[in-house]
Structure formats: structure tokens, C-alpha cells
Amino acid sequence: MTDAVLPTSALRMARRRSPFRRKVFPYLLVAPAVVYLLAITLYPGIFALWRSFYQGRFKLEFIGLENYSDLFGDEAFWHSLYNTLVIGGITLAVEFAIAMTLAALVYRDPFVRGWRIVFLLPMLFMPSAVAYLWKLLFNDGRVISDLLMQVGLASSNIDFMGSSWLARGVLVVTDVWQWTPFLFIIFVAALQGQDKEIEEAARLDGARWSQVFFAISLPLMRPVIAIALVLRGIDILTMFASPHIITQGAPAGDTETVSYFIYRTGFKSFEFGYASAASVVVLVLTVILAQSFVRRFFRSGRE
Amino acid sequence: MAEGSRFSIGRTILLLVWGLFCLLPVIFFATIALRPRNEIIAPKPIYFPTISVETWAKIWAEWPIMHYFMNSVIAVSGSVLICLVLGIPAAYSLARYQYKGREDIGFYILSTKMMAPAAVAIPIFFLFRAMGLLDTVWALMLVYAAMNLSIVVWIIRSYMIDIPHEIEDAARTDGASDLRILWSIIIPMCLPGIITAAVIAAIFAMNEYLFTLIIATKNAYPLSVALANFSGGSDGIIYNAIALVAFLAFFPALLLVILIQNHLSRGLTMGAVKG
């Protein structure tokens, strides 16, 4: 199968091992993957940049930087950036706190495999299905309202789409339910991989469990935590399925994420030039984030 | 194992509470798949519905669910195949050779994981429109492969690094070529890594929503987007069909994850955390 990817000349090249060919060989191995990825990163970047200077659906009209000046003056765009950061920040913090607590409680448990399977079940559903599940629980089926009424925390049906913080809360709960296990699984593995003996020695010296955890286990996990949060953070910042299915930005755009903003302006209003300008801004932000965070954390994570 | 506070009742209660929070919605969702339409949206939620498999026949007759399922299978498995064919040689190159620019190439591959799907959605849409591939499983396959290639390369690379050099050196002195070594020694030895990468790529591809939504408009619907289409006029959203499709995707994912459960953390962190 692998042979098929490479021209047969590469095969011969490797066998003969002339110095020049030995030098080229590793590049030939990595080239197909790089070319494929360039096609889906470089091309869209250039296309979006080009398209962002034009307006119109069928007949394109060059308007220079007008899309950008409109975009930076568009309150809805800034609002979607704000929403993304607020919803994302809360979600990430809650997921981290729960996942770390659960991992700390469970990692030396003899039944850790059992807990892990139960905890990861939500992660195995498609995000679109999960969005419908919570749409049903919060809105259409009124299940959450009913449960709150039964325990006396609410007196009537709650309109979760009526208030911006409740609607944002719905998105947070949906994401927390599905993706806390992502962090949990990583943290458990990291804790299990730590040297038991250090822990036991500290315990013999009379350290309490919480002291051992906060003074030894947690600091040792720093690189792992960084990587896990970066990976989860990227996914949360690009959150789309649940806003699209549950809230559609309601109320008054307070749950509109940047991803949903681009989708709405591009594929609902068909302002492709305008949406492309927003895409370019997001791509630039992505490159900055990738350069500053990811590279460093992945290096440190590899020992 | 140290007893005491760690195994207290409080700890067990906390774990049970979270366990129930995970499980109860799943169970509720399962009952949704089994109940008639008039018991889903009622003035008061019905917790113990009349369970009937008969609704399935109705759903099955109403929507081409098998067609959607096959779309998912084709697009997902095709994308995983592309990822492996492109990804294994790339991982081998990054793991085993010293050359100029290796770190930068590796990081570039990794950084494609950071791309926001929404930011490239519009160019991707126009690209596939120009190629005449809109609403085809081929477009989905190509996009899913692009989306997962970085993960696959990095996971497999991490497993290849762990293989001791001695075995290869011995084979090399016996006159084996580099590709021969990759095929007969490296690939069999890092098979767990390859399977882990394939499973994770498959699940992510199965889950994909935004690209799928803009590419598939009817014929090419895979499960992830087909369920967004289960709303018929006056009936509103047809939740039992959605739940049924959700479980249709859930069970294969569960089997795959159980298969790789000891490698899951390593796979999810793209090889960075050795679990």
C-alpha cells in the first residue's frame, strides 16, 4: 500500500543509496502529506484573502478594503468574538476543574477502567446528536425545567432561550457534558504514569493526600495540562454544532460564536466577500495562537 | 494501596453523581429512540413512555437511513485510508531521518490542526463547487482526510520514535532497503499506533459537522448532518429519528474505542502523553 504512494523510482533510489538520493529520500516520504495539507491551508487562505476584496454573489465587484472596514465597524462581529471568548473561557474552566477532580479521585481506584468507560460515553456521540439531545432536554422537552420544578428550584417553565446568560449556559452545559471526558482521560493517564514511589514516600513522611497531590502530582503534570488545554481550547473556540442547532445565536446574537458568524454571513446571507474578510481575520488570529502556544507546549510535552 | 480519605464515602458519592450525569441523558436519549412521536413533546415530560420498536419501522420507511449510514461508512473509511497512505511515510520520515527543516515540517503539519473549520469553509465550498464535487461523498472524504492527517502523522510518529534502532540497523546490514524496513519491520511494530490513529481519525470524521453541512445538501448526507434534516413541517423536529441515528453512530464508536482503550490518551494528545 505504501509502495503505491511513492513512484517506483523512489524505491530504486533508496536501494542505491547514493549520498544525494539519501538526502532526498526523507523529503519524498513527507512530501505527499505536506502537499495535501498545503492544498487545504494555503489555498483557502489565499482564496479568502482574494475574495475579501470583492462583494457580490455572482458578479464580483472589487471594493478594496471596504469589507474589512465594515467588519471592524460591525458590532455583531465584535460581539461574536466576545461571546466566543466568554463561552469558551467558562466552558474550558469548568471542564478542567471537573476533569481534574475526577481524575484525582479515580486514578488509583481498582475500578478505574469501569469509571473511565462510563465517563467517556458522552464523547462517543456525534456533537450534532448531542446538541439535539440538550435542545430537547432544555427547550422542546422541558425536561430540565420539570426537574427543577420538582425539586422546588423553579416555579414555572424556564425559557432558556429568553436570557443571554441562560442560553450561554445551555451551550456550556452541552459542551461540558460531552467533552469533559476528553480532559479526564488524559489527566488519568498522566497521573497513572507518575512514579508511585515518590507518592508513597511522601505519604510515609506523613504528608496528607491533598498535600501530595498539589505539591508533587500536579506540578509534574504541567506539560500534559498545557497540551490538553490547548487541544480542547482550539475545539471550544471553533464551537459550531451546538450554536447552530440549539440557539442559532439567540437571544439577540448573545450566543453567536465567531464560527457561527462566518457561517451566517456566508451561507445564510450569502455575503461571501464579507464572510471571507472575517475568515481572514480568524486565520490570522489562528496563526498567531499556533505560533505562540502550540509549538512551545508540544515541545515541552515531548520530554 | 493507601486507604483512608481517598476511599471515603464522599469520594464515591462524587463519582456516582458524575456517573449519573453522564448516564441519565444517554438512557433518556435511548428511550426517545423507542417512543412514539406524541410522547416526545408533551405538556409535561414523560419519563416512562410506552416503549415500542414499531416506531422504528416508520422511521426506516420515511428516511433512507441505510443510505445515510453507507455515506458515513464510505466517507469515513476512505478518509482514514487516505490519512494512512499519506501519513505513515510522513511519520516515518519525521521519526527516523535527520534532515534540514524536519522540525518546521513537523510543526507545520501539527499547526493545520489549529485551523478553524469556519475560516476555511468558504474557500472549500467554492473549491468543491468548481470541481463539481458538491454533495458527493468524495468531497467529504477529501475534507475529512485533510482534517485528520495532522493527528494521524503525529500519533504514528510518536509510536515510531519508540521503536529501538537496533532492529533496523540489523536489517540494514543484511541489505534491506529503507522502504523494505518500513514495510516489514516498522509498520508491524507500530501497529497499535496505526490502529489508534485510524480509530481516532474515524471518530473525528464521523463527528464532523460544519464542512459536512456546507458540502452535503441531500444525496451525500452522512449521519452527522442527516439528523439535522429530520424535521418535517408540522411535526417539528423528529427527535426519535434523531436519537435512532445517534445510536447508529454511537455503537460503532463504542466498539472502536474499547479496542484502543489503553492507547486513548496517547491518541487524543496526538502522541504527546504516553498513557
- Report the C-alpha gap between B186 and A243 in whole angstroms: 44
A-contacting residues of B 201-240, CB under 8 Å? 203, 206-207, 209-210, 213-214, 223-225, 227-228, 236-237, 239
Count CB neighbours of A38 within 10 A: 13
Which pairs count as long-range contacts for B92-100, CB under 8 Å and 24+ apart, including other chains? B92/A29, B92/B160, B92/B182, B92/B186, B93/A26, B93/A27, B93/A29, B93/A30, B94/A30, B94/B153, B94/B157, B95/B157, B95/B160, B95/B161, B96/A26, B96/B160, B96/B168, B96/B186, B97/A25, B97/A26, B97/A29, B99/A23, B99/A26, B99/A27
From chain A, the residues in CB contact with B84 under 8 A are 1
Name the nearest CA neighbour of B264 among A100, A119, A216, A233.
A119
Q: Which amino acid is at A282?
A: V
Task: Check whether B1 has a pLDDT greater than 50.
Answer: no
Q: How long a stretch of residues is chain B?
A: 275
* Residue with more model confidence, B267 or A203: B267
Q: Which residues of chain A have pLDDT under 50?
A: 1-4, 6, 13, 300-303
E-strand ranges in A136-253 read none
For residue A40, what pLDDT is reported?
84
For residue A8, what pLDDT is reported?
52
Q: Answer whether A116 touches B (CB < 8 Å).
A: yes
- Report the C-alpha gap between B219 and A261 in whole angstroms: 27
From chain B, the residues in CB contact with A209 under 8 A are 2, 4-6
Q: Which amino acid is at A13?
A: M
A6: DSSP letter: S
B135 HSE (CA, 13 A, CB side):
3
Confidence of residue B95 (pLDDT cuts 50, 70, 90): very high
Residue B1 burial (10 A CB sphere; 0-12, 13-18, 19+)? exposed
Cβ–Cβ gap B242/A129 under 8 Å? yes
Cβ–Cβ gap A276/B122 under 8 Å? yes
Give the mean pLDDT of chain B. Answer: 90
- Nearest 5°: phi and psi at A54? -120, 160
- Cell 510515609: give the residue: A204
Q: Which residues, 6 or more positions from B141, have their beta carbon under 8 angstroms from its beta carbon? A: B74, B75, B78, B79, B82
For residue A52, what pLDDT is reported?
94
Task: Check whether B4 has a pLDDT greater than 60.
Answer: no
Give the distance from CA B264 to its chain's centroid. 12
ipTM score above 0.95:
no
Measure in Å the smallest separation between the Cα of B267 and chain A Cα atoms: 10
Cell numbers representing residue B59 in the block: 422511521
Chain segment B158-207, per-residue pLDDT in tens: 999 999 988 888 888 888 888 899 999 999 999 999 999 999 999 999 99
The answer to whether A138 touches A130, Cβ cutoff 8 Å, is no
A-contacting residues of B 134-163, CB under 8 Å? 143, 145-146, 149-150, 153
Cell numbers representing residue A260 in the block: 457561527
Q: Answer whether A166 touches B (CB < 8 Å).
A: no
Q: Is B258 left (phi over 0), alpha (psi -120 to 50) or beta?
A: alpha
How confident is the model over B8-16, as a mean pLDDT?
A: 89
Q: Which amino acid is at A120?
A: L
For residue A1, what pLDDT is reported?
42
Cβ–Cβ gap A113/B261 under 8 Å? yes
Helices H / strands E in chain A, number of each: 17, 2
A-contacting residues of B 158-197, CB under 8 Å? 177-179, 182-183, 187
Chain segment B71-91, per-residue pLDDT in tens: 999 999 999 999 999 999 999
How confident is the model over B229-242, as a mean pLDDT?
A: 81
For residue B152, what pLDDT is reported?
97
Q: Using CA coordinates, name the residue in chain B closest to A221.
A: B273
